[in-house]
Amino acid sequence: MNSKKKADLQRKLTLAPVPRPPADLAERIKRDIPQHFTMSAESDRERIQRSLGLNMRVAASVLLVVSSAYLFMHLFERKSENVAVELPRARVATPAAKVAAPPANALRQEPSPLAALGYTSPAPAAPRPAMQMADGRVANEVEHPRVAAAERRLDEMRDREGAPGGVVGGVIGGVAGGVIRTEPPSAVAENDAAPAVPPPPAPVPAPEPPAAVADYATHVQESVTVTASAPVVEQRAAAMSASADAKGLRKASSSLVPEAQASDLELGPRGEVLGISVDPEAFERVKSAIERGEQPKGVNVEALVNYFAGRPQRTRRDVELQTEGSPAPVGAAERRAILRYTIDTATAALPPGASLPPVAADAQVHIAFESAAVASHRRIGDDQQDDTPQETLLKNESVTALYEIEMKPDVTPRQRVATVSLSYRSVADGQQRVITRTITGRDFTRPWHASSRRHRLASLGAVWGETLKDSGPAMDVALRAEELALQEPKDAKARELADVASASSRLRTSAPTGSGR
């Protein structure tokens, strides 16, 4: 076919005349438009089937994995139980909290068939203190039916043998289940059938529990209480040194509550808490200098604040946060105010020299001032940043920080002035906690003498301390302190402050001036 003919054919095909469609054709077609369009049921069905098939396959795989894991764990657990059950256990009837001398019949040192297998009682035959397991059970008494059955077999064996003894001392320790490294009872059963039993070794006299063991027991008790898993105790262990065990337990518990380790605890009150000086000797040094007629040098105002803020007689919670605000006690320029926060930890009755147990870990204070209410602020005694470092809080501790703030005009009573937050992790339960207190303008509308005793003492002590460092209204401070002492006649600290403030003011007024020489 030549190209001309082809082109002609194409032209005829494309240019074939076509009449206009009937006028009503469009309307007829539109009338046939259905109300609802049916989608392809087949394709939808196929799609659903495919997705369903996939989902079923995935679900089956997940089920298989979960059931396999469960079966494995179940088998592993049963195997562990079988191993524990097959071994003889100790029947130590001591109470959980006591470390007592072994009862007369608690440990039978007479030879037992088990001894023939090379199993001997532990050298410190004294009963170990029962270890409290995580679920509250006493580890010494394992309540497993198989264990009870094994016990009964042993008792029967002993009765048959005529030997009264045979209860082996030992402790199944640990939350995870003890693994006592002795021969399985199958050997016992075999020996039971043996015609001759080898002569048992000589009985080991029950020694007195050494002091080291008692200490160890104490450490064990404390450590087990705190930690989640106790160490495994071997039945064949010879006398263990208490210190070595304590170290081992500290290592075991270090990951959980490092603050509970004995070696990390401080023995006495600290000189600084959360970076704030609480030196109890600071006041005595100043007082001594004043009494000697000397101007005190190196006045630690922070420590004076804490000395006079003191500590409450009782606390209701492990950690308490107090906040308070008031106008400045003396010489207050317009809108000068004092803001205080105090942290008190729980009170613990401890013998003198005893270490202070921790109560809160990673404690930190954050204070935020509202710029709409506060023009400027400074921490009295220390111009460091407002947030404290993270530290551990111990029991029987109190720490107070004071801020002098310049209020903006027209602060309303309801207006927020500052927010103080104390975050810490409780040693008791490991929970993270945050205590937040908000100080509003209402605090600063009351006169200074309407504030709490603690606040008045702390703020006056601060002002007095600062007058010692530089020239200030020492007489006004003394007068204010005297007023405070009169208001609180039974308050020894108020009296003390009044006396020392008065003495220091006299010291300053009697100091020779340069012009007089």
Supply the minimum distance, in Å, between the C-beta of residue 20 and other proteins: 5
Q: Which is nearer to other proteins, 12 or 517 (CB)?
A: 12
Contact 488, 451 (CB under 8 A): no
Cβ contacts of 41 within 8 Å, gap of 6 or more = none
Q: Which is nearer to other proteins, 6 or 449 (CB)?
A: 6
Supply the minimum distance, in Å, between the C-beta of residue 49 and other proteins: 16
490 binds other proteins per the rule CB under 8 A = no
471 binds other proteins per the rule CB under 8 A = no
Contact stretch for other proteins (CB under 8 A) within 4-12, 57-65, 131-139, 506-514: 4-12
10 binds other proteins per the rule CB under 8 A = yes
4 binds other proteins per the rule CB under 8 A = no
d(C-alpha 303, C-alpha 282), whole Å = 6
d(C-alpha 69, C-alpha 87), whole Å = 28
Contact stretch for other proteins (CB under 8 A) within 18-26, 249-257, 358-366, 404-412: 18-26
Contact stretch for other proteins (CB under 8 A) within 27-35, 154-162, 239-247, 415-423: 27-35
Nearest CA-CA partner of 348 in 381, 412, 393: 393
Give the amino acid at 399: V
13 binds other proteins per the rule CB under 8 A = yes
1 binds other proteins per the rule CB under 8 A = yes
Nearest CA-CA partner of 402 in 302, 322, 496: 302
d(C-alpha 340, C-alpha 403), whole Å = 6
Q: How many CB atoms lie within 10 A of CB 186?
A: 9
Residue 77, H or E segment: helix 41-86
Q: Which is nearer to other proteins, 28 or 316 (CB)?
A: 28
CA angle 42, 43, 46 (to 5 degrees): 85
Tokens 């209701």 locate to 316
Give the HSE-up count for residue 439: Cα atoms under 13 Å, Cβ half-sphere: 28
Q: Which parts of 42-71 interact with other proteins (CB under 8 A)?
A: 42-44
When binding is defined by CB under 8 A, the residue of 4, 36, 490, 517 that contacts other proteins is: 36
Contact stretch for other proteins (CB under 8 A) within 24-32, 102-110, 454-462, 507-515: 24-32
When binding is defined by CB under 8 A, the residue of 4, 21, 353, 516 that contacts other proteins is: 21
Q: Which parts of 258-287 interact with other proteins (CB under 8 A)?
A: none
Site string for other proteins, 373-412 (x = CB under 8 A): ----------------------------------------
Supply the minimum distance, in Å, between the C-beta of residue 41 and other proteins: 7
Contact stretch for other proteins (CB under 8 A) within 19-27, 246-254, 265-273, 496-504: 19-27
Tell me the torsion sign for CA atoms 32, 38, 41, 43. positive
414 binds other proteins per the rule CB under 8 A = no
Supply the minimum distance, in Å, between the C-beta of residue 42 and other proteins: 8
* Tokens describing residue 322: 């107090």
Nearest CA-CA partner of 477 in 514, 509, 445: 509
Q: Which is nearer to other proteins, 37 or 352 (CB)?
A: 37
Nearest CA-CA partner of 459 in 311, 332, 338: 338
Q: How many CB atoms lie within 10 A of CB 229?
A: 15
Supply the minimum distance, in Å, between the C-beta of residue 7 and other proteins: 10
**80 exposure class (CB count in 10 Å sphere: 0-12, 13-18, 19+):** middle
Give the CA distances from residue 74 to residues 66, 70, 412, 442, in Å, rounded to whole numbers and listed in that order.
Answer: 12, 6, 67, 64
Supply the minimum distance, in Å, between the C-beta of residue 53 and other proteins: 21
d(C-alpha 381, C-alpha 466), whole Å = 8
Q: Which is nearer to other proteins, 29 or 350 (CB)?
A: 29
Contact stretch for other proteins (CB under 8 A) within 10-18, 227-235, 441-449, 497-505: 10-18
Give the length of the chain.
517
18 binds other proteins per the rule CB under 8 A = yes
When binding is defined by CB under 8 A, the residue of 34, 136, 298, 409 that contacts other proteins is: 34
- Reading phi first (left if > 0) and then psi (alpha if -120 to 50, else beta), residue 362 is in left
211 binds other proteins per the rule CB under 8 A = no
Q: Which is nearer to other proteins, 37 or 351 (CB)?
A: 37
Supply the minimum distance, in Å, between the C-beta of residue 54 and other proteins: 21
Q: Which is nearer to other proteins, 39 or 349 (CB)?
A: 39
Nearest CA-CA partner of 367 in 390, 341, 345: 341
When binding is defined by CB under 8 A, the residue of 4, 14, 431, 510 that contacts other proteins is: 14
Q: At what angle do helices 492-510 and 453-469 cross, to 10 degrees?
A: 20
d(C-alpha 227, C-alpha 1), whole Å = 99
Supply the minimum distance, in Å, between the C-beta of residue 2 and other proteins: 10
Give the total of residues touching other proteins (CB under 8 A): 34
CA angle 92, 154, 149 (to 5 degrees): 85
Supply the minimum distance, in Å, between the C-beta of residue 39 and other proteins: 3
When binding is defined by CB under 8 A, the residue of 33, 104, 267, 349 that contacts other proteins is: 33
> What is the binding site for other proteins (CB under 8 A)?
1, 5-6, 9-10, 12-22, 25-26, 28-30, 32-44
